[in-house]
Structures are given as C-alpha cells and as structure tokens.
Structure 1
Amino acid sequence: MRSISIFSSFQLLLVFTLFISNSTAAAPTVLESLASTINLATNLAAKKNSDNATKYDPCAAIAGKSTASFNDAKACLDFFKYDKDIAKQTLDTVRKITNDLYVFNELAKNPPQVEGLGITPIDISHGLDLIEKENWKSDREFQEAIALLLDKVEDAHLSYSPFCYRQFIFWQPIQLNALLRNQRLVINVAYVKDDIWPDADSSWVGCEVVQIDGIEAMEMVVNYAVNNNGESKDVNTCFNNIMNTKSYFHGWDDGADDLGYHRFLPAQEYHNYTLKCPQKGTLPKQEEYDEPFTVVVPWVAQVPPSYTSAESYWKNFCESSHYSKGNVTKRDIHYDLHELKAIHEGDVFALNANTNAAAAGENKHGRYIEFIQLDKPNDKVGVIDIQSFSIAAEDREAFVQNVTTGLRTFEKDGVEKIILDLSSNGGGDACAGEFLINTFFNSTPDYPSDIKYSPLLERVVKKAYEQQNTKWLDYKPLHNDSSRGSEWFTDTHTYARGNDKNVRFSQPVSLSCAGWGGLTSPDNNKNGNNTFVNNKWKPSDVVILSDGRCGSTCAIVASRLHLSHQVPAMGLGGIRGNRMQFASFPGGESDRLSSFLMDLEILGLSTDADAPLPFPERADIGWTFREVYKPTKEFTGQETDLLEYSVINADCRLYFDDDNADDVKRLWADAAKVLLAGQCLYIEQ
C-alpha cells in the first residue's frame, strides 16, 4: 500500500484501503471493526450536530455572504442527513453502470503490472458493498465516499459528481507551483488570493515553501499527488494537476483536486506553511533568504448564491425530479429531460471558478485553438495552442477553417517549426482530433477500438439504427466493410480482461464522423476553403508540448502523432528525475449518465428493465465505454495493447522556472530553443 498523505480524509481513506482486491476476503470483518472504532470517536460530535440542527439552520447562517469559514461551510454541507432510500437508489445506479457499461471494470480489479505506472487494484463492486453497509453520519459523507472510490481507479473518465456538495468553492489563499530554481526543483508560492483572505500577503509570492504541516514540502506534494489525485496513472501528470500557474490553471473539472482549490470539502480546516522569502531587493533565484517563518492558512469557502436556508439550498442544488421514495423500482416514468440537459451542460453550478480563461481566440463556447508566431529570435517557430477538442456543433466549420487558415498563414510567413501545445487539454470530439492528424500527415489508419457488450447496449444500438438517431450511429467496423447496421455490435468478440477470461466486446470499430458532414475528410474541398495539404513540415519539424494533462481525445491524438508519425513529444513539469508521459486517461470514449438517459428517452428505452435509474439527487457519473488500442502489426485484443494501460514517455523535458511559469510566451520561447537546437528527438517506444 502507498502511504496516506495527511491531506487525505482520515475516515474515508482508511475505509478505502479495504477496496484493494487482495484484501477483499477479510474486508467486511475489518470494516465492521474499523467502523466501530470510528463511531466511538465521532458519536459525541454527531450528537452535538444533531442537537444543534434542531436549534439553528447553518446554511441560513452564511446565506448571502461572499465567503465563509471552513467550519461554517462544513456545518451547512453536513446538515443533510444520510437517507437509506437515497443511498440504495444511488448505489443501484452506480452498480449498473460500473458492472455493465464501464469498459475497464474487470481491469480495475486486476490490472496488468506495467513498469512506469502506479496502479492500485480496486474492486469497485466490493467497495460499493462496503459503502452500503456503513451507517454514514451525513449524506455528504456517503456521496463523497462513492466519488472517492471511483477516483481511486485513476481513470479521469470514471467519476461521480454529487452536485449538492459541489456548490461551495474552497480556496487556499496560498497557491503553489513547482519550479526548477538553480537546478533544484522547489515548491514555490505562485500567487496569493487576498480577495478571499485579506491576511494573504502579496510579498509571499516567490517565497520557497520549506515545509507543509511540518513535513518537507516536496515530499508532501509528491505524496499528495500519488495518493490523492485520480487524474492519471502517471504520477507526473498527477503532480502537475495539483499545482497551478497563472498560465495553466487546472480548475476545469468539477471535482478539481489540487492543493489550493476544491469543489468538495477539504479534509482539514487549515495548513501550516513554512516559508523562506528573498531578502528585500533580491530575486528568488538569487536564493538570499530572510529567516524562515510559518503562517497558518485556512481553507476559505466561497458561498454559493441563490439560496436562503437549508431548505432552499436542498431545493435549488440537491433535489432531483427523479427521486421516487419508497418506490425505487418503478419503471413507468419518463426522464425529466430539462434537468438532464442542465446537468449534462454544467448548468448546475452556482459558482464558476474558471476565471483564468485566455481572452485571445475565444468564442461563446470558450477557446478552441490559436495560432501564434513567436517573436525574434524564434520567429521561425509557430505555436498551435489547442485548449480543447470539445467543438460545439455550430462551431465545427469555423474550427476547420481556423486550422487551415492558420496553417496557410504559418506557411506564408515562413514558419519552419511548430510547437503543438496540448497542455491542460481535456479532450472532446474525436473527429476534431482526426481532422488535425489528417491535415498534418494525410489520412492515418484509425487505432482499433471496441465497446463492452451488454444486452442493454445491444437494444440501444439496434434501436439507434432503426430510428437513425443518437450517437450510437457514429461507428463503423474497422476491418469488416460487409457489416451492416448494428452488426458491428452484435457480432461480438471475447477477450481476457484481468482474471475474467471471457469478456464480450463489439467488433473493432472506428468513428464515422458523419456529424461533421465531410469537413474532417482529407479530400474535403468544401467552398475551396477547408483543405490544406501539408508539403512543408516533416514530423521532426513538429513537437508536442504537454504537461501530461492531455486527456481523452487529446491523448489519442498525441499518441497517434507520436507512435504512427514519429512526432517527438516534450514533457512539461512533473517530478525531476522521473520519466513522464505526455498524455493521460486515453481510454477511448466516455459517456455520462445524463446524456445516456437522454439517449434512452429518445430511443423509447427509458422503461427498459436493465436501464440505470436516474440519481435521486442531482448528480452525474461518467465512465469509459470504448477502449482504444495502440497500433500493432496484428490486432489481438490483448489488454496489454490498450492505451489506457500503456506507458508512452516524452522524448525530452522542459520545466517551469521563475521566468516562464507566469508567462506562457516565455515558456514557448524556451521550448522553441530546444526545438531549433534539435535537442528533442523522437525515441522509439
């Protein structure tokens, strides 16, 4: 077992050490003993909270305020009691999805041993059983237990988001990054948030963090990354994910788990930071410090608007129209599509923390792509900065035109080398990635992928073809052009996964990209504007720049450029001396319950006995349903060929420093120097 960081939730993480599949036989007995011990320690506090709840409303006490203390926010969030009916409905839905639809369920329990990946076996089904047996003190603790269990699988596609408990935003007024300073990797104060805590001192910026809560700072941060961040199976990516710079703010996911920003209740009220700060008139890199000092920094909660009491908080943020108390198996209902759409589109957060979005190149859906030619002496280098592949349907043609126009401009202006910055790109539409690959290097054979079989999905796919509706039409057989309609799914193959030797999958498939109307086709020439034939840049003229948070579609694009076209990759940040990957969670394709239920409603399958019920509280779950393989000479379907369980390391490395951490153009200039000097060469994997 890995050691547990002191930032971890003591109670929950002790329980979740029992999820390791090697211990499952003894886990129920151990859990009962552990729960008894914990209950003895918490009964008095729970009784006090229960008595106080009848006297005052802790949510009303902070309603209308901009910020609240850790304890006041906790009192509000823990006001809502554990409900066994809600718990049963919630767990039944999570079980259906993870057992029947999650493509890596068997591998999560018994993963392959891969050098360079730190993978802990997690038996999801057994973990859910343990959660159900526990008598939780609050609904929040129960809901967060599910989120933590799925997080431990270290697949960012697999996540549970209880929106009732994601409405506060918790900040540490000290925000940290990791910098290479005089050949030494240090934890540094990147910036402070005096807007939420007036005692935050701007003079702390640039100070080295010596200790956190009495433990050496780098040890603490690495330990936290290893134990508490489920973003990736690569520790360097997790390390980068818990750090923040002004150029790369990592708060785009609803459960962001870094050292200074949470949407969930932190494990403790405050932290002690021991700092050593540069003497007045000196720069941090001169390392002339004043005497170290320790500052006690609280977690500060931003309070959501639009509620006045616990009752209105529950109604506005937690209550679901799908809750059926005492009748949890009723199937003669239709889904509330308005609520599902609001959940799917993220319109359930009262606060929006994404304040660091770049202004350049933005549209109403956010920034997709920007082309930047660097200044002298690096003016022969251009940067293609892609922040997301989540292209809205109405923006697809504009995205294609932006790519082709940008490349034409680079060509006209004499750009000889290209940095493809994929840092902090959470993925999106795989067809957008397909277009990018084809534009640079013409058509590339698709990587094989397949979907885990279930009787429910068979009915879904068949209905989709009968009605010619929903995304389940988007696939085509990779090697069998004679297959028609839903045969690609019903004519199954069987492969070994973990200890299960007979897991059924669809035929190997690829995406049709029909929804793009031919825009992504390499021979597309619509209006003569959307085609660019690359006759200028070879793979060695392009470098992938990534902090590892290039996930999902981004990970597949980066892997295909690297493995199929030998484009070198430059890793950014991470732990010095530890080889890093440049992509994370490349599972293939994910779905969310909110969109899956909308598909079922459209296809007339909302009453199907095998369909998962909606959650009784406002919540959503995401999971990987399509797995993708590395390119191989002969397709075998082996689990060791899956991208999700493979190591593809960067060819060279760049670190943040005092000069480039808050200036992305300086960072790109540093990357350009490496590229122009020929110091980032492709290494055969």
Structure 2
Amino acid sequence: MVSFTLHSAIFSALLAVAAITTFTAAAPVAFSNQTSSRLDACGRLGQKNGVDVKYKDVAACYRAIPFDRFAADTTISTVHDLFRDYYVFTDKALAPRLPKPFTSESVDILKQLQTIGLRKYKSDYQFHTDVRYAIDTLRDGHASYDVNCYTNYAFQQHLSLYAPVKKGVQTVRVFTDYKERGYEDCIVDKIDGQPALDHIRQWATKRVTCSHDVNTRLNCALSRQGYYAEDSAFIDEPGEFSVRAYLPDKRYIDYELRCSNKKSSSRPIRLREEWVVFPQSKIQFEDVESYVANVCLSQGGAAPSSAVHGQARPHLRKSAPLIKKRDLLHAYDTVETLVPVQKFDDAEKLVAGNATIFYRLKSQPDVGVMVVHTLDANFDEVDTILEGLTAFHSHNVTKVLVDLQGNGGGILSLSSDLTQMLFPNNNTLDASFEVDMRAPETVQRLSALGFNSPYGANYDARAYHDLQVEGAPQYENNDLFMKPVNITRNGRTNQYSERTVLYSTPLSTETLTAVAAFPWTGRRENIRILTDGRCASACGMTAYFWTKVYGIEAYSIGGTKGEDLSMFSFAGASVSTLSDLQDTYSLLKMESPLKEMAYKNQVRFAWLELYGKNRTVPLEYDAELYRPNHRLDYTQRNARSREVMWRQVAGASWK
C-alpha cells in the first residue's frame, strides 16, 4: 500500500491511505466460503472492508446493481410531482436566457424528468445519475437529488488547483500537492489534453451547481483559503474539481505541468493522477444483494444528514471524512484534527465566535475586518457580534470590511440581526423580505390541516404576515394559501400565494443603543464587503440588503479575468427536503400524494421565493442585483492569504 506523508493542508489526510481507519461493526460480516475471485463486484468491494479501495472497485459495484423499473417509476413520479407542486422556481427556470452575470440556459425540469422516466435503462446507476444531473441543471444550491446508494465513497485528487493572474495573464496552477512532490504553483498547461482553464470552466459549467453564474461556479471548483472554525484558522481548501462525492467519469486525470522550480523546467511534466477513494459509511455488505439492502434501500439505517446551507467547507481529518453531499462537503466523526493556524503579521485578532471573527489591521489601524464565515450559528452569536464591534470601537476602528467569502448561509434571523447591527431598522419591516410560494390544490389541502397546527411547518399561514392589512399582522385565517393568484412565467401559468413577508424581529433597545455609538453604523462609506461569490442563502440575503438597499460597495474576487462575478451565489433561506415534507403529512395524519422512494435519499428543494425591494423578479433570478461595484483577481499571494486581500480592499477603499 502506498503511504503519503500527512501535512498541514486540509484534506491532506484524504491522501494518507495508510492512515485510513478500518471500519468495524458490532457484529462483523461473516463472508461466505467463496474465494475472492468468485465474489460478485460488490462482494469484492465489501471484502476490502474500507482499506485500499480503488476506483475500479467502486465503479464495478455501482454498475452491478440491477435496474428496478418499479422503483425507478416511483422515483420519477415522486420527484416530478415534488418539483411540479412544491418547488417554487419550476416556472421561473424556463427563462430562455438569463442576463449577466448569470450564464444558465432555460431549464424545463418537468420535461427532463418525464424524458428520463420514458427511457429504457439497463443500469440503475445511470438512472439515478441522470435524475441527479437533471436537478443539477437548475443551478440552485437549494435543489438537489442524492441517494445513499451512490454516495458511499468519496474521491480525491493528489493535486488541488487555482487560477491566479500574473502580469495580466490567468493560468491554472497547483494550489496544493498532497504528495509533497514540490509542484505547488507549477503552471498546469493541460488537463486531459485540453487547455487547463478551458477544461475546468467547461467542467464547472456542466457539473457545479452552486450558482447561475459560471464564474462563481469556477470559484466553487477551485481551491482557496477557507476558515476552519474549530481552530480559528485559515487553511487550504480543495475545490469541487479535486474532491468528488460521486463516481468520476474515469479513474484518473491527466495533467501537463510546467515548473520553473524544476531542473527540467523546459520540458513538460506529465502526470496521470488516479482518484484516491474513501468509504463514507461503516455499513458492511458481502455482495450486490446485501449492498442494496444495507446501503441503498430505505428500510433501516439513516438517510443522509441534512446538508448545511450552501457550500459548507470540509473538515480536516486524520482518517477519511464522511462526505454526505456533493458540492456541500461536510465531514464528521470525532477524530483528531491537524489544522495549522495561519499567522497574520498585519492583523490582530480581537474576538472570535461560532460564525464571526474580528481583526484589526495593524498597517491601517482604523480598519477592522469582520469575517462572517457562516450564518449557521446559535442565537447568542448576536452577543459575540456586538462584542466584536465594541472591540473595534475601543481600538479606534472607524471603518469595517466584512469578509463573506465561503459563507454557506444559515439562520434567517441571524442574517436580519447582522443587517440591523450595521443599519438599524426605522420600522419593523425594514430587514424583511416579501415572499410567495406555490399554492396548487395539493398545497391548499395540506395548508388546510397545517393552519394553526404545531405540525403545519412551512404550510401554516400563521407563520406569515398579511401585507394586505395595515401593519402587516400575522394571518388569522388561511387565505394566504386558499386564495391563490395565477402567475404566468415563461408561458406557463400556475397558482401562487399572494405576497407575504418573512418577518424579522427588531433588535433589542439595548443593542440598538450600543451600535448607535459606533462611527460606521448607518454610514455606507465606512463599510465594504469582500466576497468570492460563494455567499449563499441567508448570506446572499444579507449581501443584497447591504449593497442594494443600503448602498455598501462590494468587491468580488476570483472567477475568470475580465468577466463578471456575482456577489452571492443564491438566496432564499427556504431549503426543505422530501423527508421533511413527508413528515409534515404524517404528523398531520394526512396521506401524502408523493410516493415513498425505495432508496434512502436527500432530495432538497426551495419552497419559498424572495423579492428585492420593489422588484417583480424573484431574487434568485434577479441578475442585476448580483453585480458588485468592484472586481479583483486572485494572485499567487492573495489566494493564499486573506490578510493580503484585506489590505488590498482597504487600500483601494480608504486611502
């Protein structure tokens, strides 16, 4: 077995094959007396017990699973009806072409699913892959299709890549060489025979789902410096091009490198890098039949854990992390971490919480940096934010740079609180969004039982506020759902609720009094935003308010040189799952119109659409609102250090 040296970069442990934990269970599987050569494809994979698994082992097992027409028909029926009646953007996605900075084409998700349902499949793996690809074309981080059956193994390359600009030229370079061969910052001229940047852009255009903007998708595909909250450290993060939660198309990637630090720099270095494979569960199996029974089917076991909002960062582990969702890589298991603390010579750390961390620039001491790396935090994070802002004030900070890079979103109320702490409400609806939902007959029937019920969840009208009444009180009846309006979008007419509002509770008087004393409060000229476009869901809502309502200038970094790059990736904070919806039906003792799917799954969808102030296009598709004031390119220096970025933005903003 090949052994790689562990070092400080995130996911370096993924390359340390010798360090993989051998998975065990309370009662180990007793394999039959068959020899290895007589086992079927999944039997040979299972016999490895998680050790030294190769791409070909996983591919053979996945492709050996028999296609079940009945299960496939049930799957298509359920997913189709879910996206027809509950997914809020089904009609809006039909837009023939979205304006810049978006690059997505028209998507008829219902037609795609119907077409898949009519195909004659022999491969179960291909069927579920096609369903996933169809949902992926929506480019909505709140919409996805995942089944345990084909996410049981993760895949990583030895090289992670980035695309800095040097002397006006953008090239793909090696960000991290996990085998420590000295390839960092070597130029990658070709990938699989194509010019490297073209290859990755094409792959991101086709396979990455984090945004309607292909340049944000490029940022999601490539490596960067990310924040690791457990150790309050900025560390290297491989992008989605280098870490996959689904079986890649082939077992290797070919690279052609050009390295100035090598004696043979005049000659290209050609590498064929095979995928390193890591089990994502401890479930044991001994053949195709037991793999399907134990890993795939809904009976027994747990479904995939709900993915955190947006593009969550992976955690560094000594043993293989458990990647449960493509594009939203989230590792868990209690094992020791190896995280280096990146030391900032020019940034003094003042306060750190679960979602925010506060620095003061030494070279520009009137500038404070508030890093908001997530909004998925407890309600007491507001106290930490106030503590951090107070620390800024006590250190004579008068200008604030808010770093939103890589923020996957989170809790709506924290987004509202954060907005109000910089721009306090004048009235109770200032930090609130107007919204609507799909309201066909299926939703109307569900809402009738959900009204004023502890189990009504998203379909209880009392959770919303009536904009048709002065003061926007909570609904006291079910008119929101029972009196829908017809809206025609892109030639398709459907029923939607009337406009309502996501109400945000105003901050306390004590907090408002405290923030009023700060020199940046309510002053857009004293605040800037830095983003790489990977600012999702509740983060996107925050970025919208700050930039388009209150006029803060934003800097977006990365993407393709000379092209637009969005400030945020998607908005909404309205993600739900098929499982959540089925639970709502069950708790209300109502028969669901959606059939139960055979495979353990995580099917996510957006059920609520938001609108900008006085806008008619849902925020998810309102491309004009995604444009930043300023664009920055990655360089070999700033891509590896947030501190360099902060000085760059501060210097351009407040000379």
**Short-chain TM bin:** 0.7 to 0.9
Partner of 1:476: 465
Q: Identify the match of residue 274 of structure 1 among 256, 261, 282.
A: 256
Structure 1's 345 and 245: CA in aligned 2 closer, same or farther, altered over 3 A?
closer
User: Contact 1:431–1:511 at 8 Å: present in 2 too?
Assistant: no
CA distance in 1, matches of 2:503, 2:564: 36
Cα distance change of structure 1 residues 144 and 581 upon mapping to structure 2, 3 Å threshold: same
Q: Take 2:362 and 2:558, find their aligned partners in 1: how far apart are those partners?
A: 25
477, 491, 498: which one pairs with 1:485? Answer: 477
Residue of structure 2 in register with 1:145 after alignment = 130
Q: How does 1:383-422 map to 2 (within 5 A)?
A: 383-391=369-377, 395-396=378-379, 398-422=380-404
Hey, what's the Cα distance between the residues in 1 that align with 2:175 and 2:481?
50
Deviations 1:537-580 (A, max 9, x none): 11121111111111111111111111110011110111010021
Alpha-carbon distance in 1 for matches of 2:42, 2:603: 33
1:235 equivalenced with 2:178 (yes/no): no
In structure 2, stretches of 5+ residues that fail to align are 1-36, 229-237, 309-319, 324-328, 332-336, 342-351
Partner of 1:64: 50
Root-mean-square deviation (Å): 2.9
Q: Distance in 2 between matches of 1:641 and 1:416?
A: 35
Could you tell me which residue of structure 2 aligns to residue 295 of structure 1?
271
Residue 150 of structure 1: CA displacement? 0.8
- Displacement of 1:68: 2.2
Asked whether the equivalents of residues 158 and 177 of structure 2 are also in contact (C-alpha less than 8 Å), the reply is yes
What does residue 148 of structure 2 align with?
163
User: Which of residues 208, 223, 229 is equivalent to 2:187?
Assistant: 208
The whole-number CA distance in structure 2 between the counterparts of 1:293 and 1:667 is 32
**Retained in 1: the 8 A contact 2:55–2:277?**
yes
Distance 1:667 1:116 in 2: 23
SS in 1 for 2:160: strand
**Unaligned residue ranges in structure 1 (runs of 5+):** 1-50, 195-200, 250-255, 282-287, 323-337, 361-365, 514-519, 678-685
How far off is 1:522 after superposition?
2.5
Name the CA distance, whole Å, in 2 between partners of 1:137 and 1:414.
68
Q: Is the 8 A contact 1:588 1:628 kept in 2?
A: no
**Aligned counterpart, 1:351:** 322
Cα gap change, 1:615 to 1:641, in 2 (>3 Å) = closer
In 2, distance between residues paired with 1:350 and 1:116? Answer: 34
- The 1:589–1:565 alpha-carbon spacing in structure 2 relative to 1, beyond 3 Å, is same
Equivalent of 1:317, from 282, 295, 305? 295
Structure 2 counterpart of 1:497:
489
Residue type at the aligned position of 1:258: E
Distance 1:57 1:229, change over 3 A: same
Residue aligning to 2:344? none
1:667 and 2:648 correspond: no
Residues 96 and 309 (structure 1 numbering): CA distance in 2 closer, same or farther, change over 3 Å? same
* Change over 3 Å in CA distance of 1:132–1:62 after alignment to 2: farther
1:431-450 correspondence to structure 2 within 5 Å: 431-443=413-425, 444-450=430-436
Distance of aligned partners of 1:56 and 1:561 in 2 relative to their CA distance in 1, 3 Å threshold: closer
Structure 1 residues 298 and 248: CA distance shift in structure 2, 3 A = farther
Is the Cα contact below 8 Å between 2:409 and 2:573 reproduced in 1? no
Structure 1 counterpart SS, 2:574 = strand
CA offset digits 1:199-250 (Å, max 9, x no partner): xx4311111101111211122122222222222111110110100124379x
Aligned partner of 2:24 in structure 1 is: none
Map 1:31-46; keep pairs closer than 5 Å. Answer: none
Q: Which amino acid aligns with 2:189?
A: V
Using the aligned pairs only, state the percent identity: 22
Secondary structure (helix, strand or coil) at the match of 1:247 reads strand
Q: Deviations over 1:402-450 (max 9, x none)?
A: 1111111111111122121111112122121111111110122533211
Kindly state the Cα deviation for residue 120 of structure 1 after the two structures are TM-superposed. 1.5
Which amino acid in 2 is paired with 1:484? E
The 1:401/1:471 distance shift into structure 2, 3 A limit, reads farther
Indicate the residue corresponding to 2:233 in structure 1: none
Q: Are 1:461 and 2:450 matched, yes or no?
A: no
The answer to whether the 8 A contact 1:401-1:530 is kept is no
1:19-58 aligned within 5 A: 57-58=43-44
1:631 aligns with 2:616: no
Residue of 544, 556, 562 corresponding to 2:541: 556
- The yes-or-no answer on 1:374 pairing with 2:360 is yes
439-448 or 88-97: bigger deviation: 439-448
Rounded to whole Å, the distance in 2 between the matches of 1:167 and 1:506 is 39
The structure-2 alpha-carbon separation of the partners of 1:535 and 1:64, relative to structure 1 and needing over 3 Å to count, comes to: closer
Q: Report the alpha carbon displacement of residue 167 of structure 1 after superposing the two structures with TM.
A: 1.8
Q: Which residue of 1 aligns with 2:515?
A: 532
Alignment length (residue pairs): 564
Question: Does 1:261 pair with 2:240?
Answer: no
**1:556 alignment partner, SS class:** helix
Describe the SS at the equivalent of 1:437.
helix
Q: 1:149 to 1:375 in 2, by over 3 A?
A: same
What residue is the counterpart of 2:621 in the other structure?
A: 644
Letter in 1 for 2:221: I
Partner in structure 2 of residue 9 of structure 1? none
State how far apart, in whole Å, the 1-side matches of 2:539 and 2:265 are.
42
Q: Residues 493-542 of structure 1, C-alpha deviation per residue, up to 9 Å, x if partnerless?
A: 22221112x322112122235xxxxxx423454xx799633642111211
The whole-number CA distance in structure 1 between the counterparts of 2:54 and 2:197 is 28
Shift of the 302–125 alpha-carbon distance from structure 1 to 2, 3 Å rule, reads: same
Q: Which amino acid aligns with 1:467?
A: S
Write 1 or 2 for the structure with the bigger share of helix: 1
Question: Aligned partners of 1:153 and 1:239: how far apart in 2?
Answer: 16
Q: Distance in 1 between matches of 2:583 and 2:293?
A: 23
Whether the 8 Å CA contact 2:85–2:443 is kept in 1: the answer is: no
CA deviation after TM superposition for structure 1 residue 74, in Å:
0.7
1:662 deviation in Å? Answer: 2.3
Measured after TM superposition, the shift of residue 112 of structure 1 is 5.4
**TM-score of the aligned structures, taking structure 2 as reference length:** 0.80
User: Tell me, what secondary structure is at the counterpart of 1:521?
Assistant: coil
Distance in 1, Cα, partners of 2:517 & 2:603: 41
Distance (whole Å) between structure 2 residues aligned to residue 71 and residue 319 of structure 1? 23
The alpha-carbon distance between structure 1 residues 54 and 268, as it changes in their structure 2 partners (threshold 3 A), is: closer
Q: Check the 8 A contact 1:542/1:568 in 2, yes or no.
A: yes
User: What is the DSSP-based 3-state SS (H/G/I as helix, E as strand, rest coil) of the residue aligned with 2:653?
Assistant: helix
CA contact (8 A) 2:191 2:253 kept: yes
Change (3 A) 1:180 1:479: farther
8 Å CA contact 2:125–2:150 kept in 1: the answer is yes
Would you say 1:78 and 2:63 are equivalent positions?
yes
1:654 and 2:632 matched? yes
After superposition, the Cα gap between the structure-2 partners of 1:371 and 1:234, relative to the gap in structure 1 and judged at 3 Å, is same
Quickly say closer, same or farther: Cα 1:641–1:572, change in 2 above 3 A: same
1:575 aligns with 2:596: no
Q: CA separation in 2, counterparts of 1:83 and 1:616?
A: 10
Aligned residue for 2:387, secondary structure, equals helix
Structure 1 residue 275 displacement after superposition: 0.5
Q: Does the CA contact (< 8 Å) of 2:98 and 2:623 recur in 1?
A: no
Can you list the C-alpha shifts for 1:280-300, whole angstroms capped at 9, x where unaligned? 59xxxxxx9443221111122
Q: 1:313 to 1:524 in 2, by over 3 A?
A: farther
- CA offset at residue 588 of structure 1? 5.6
Confirm or deny: 8 A CA contact 1:62 1:303 kept in the other structure: no
Counterpart contact for 1:343–1:594, Cα < 8 Å: no
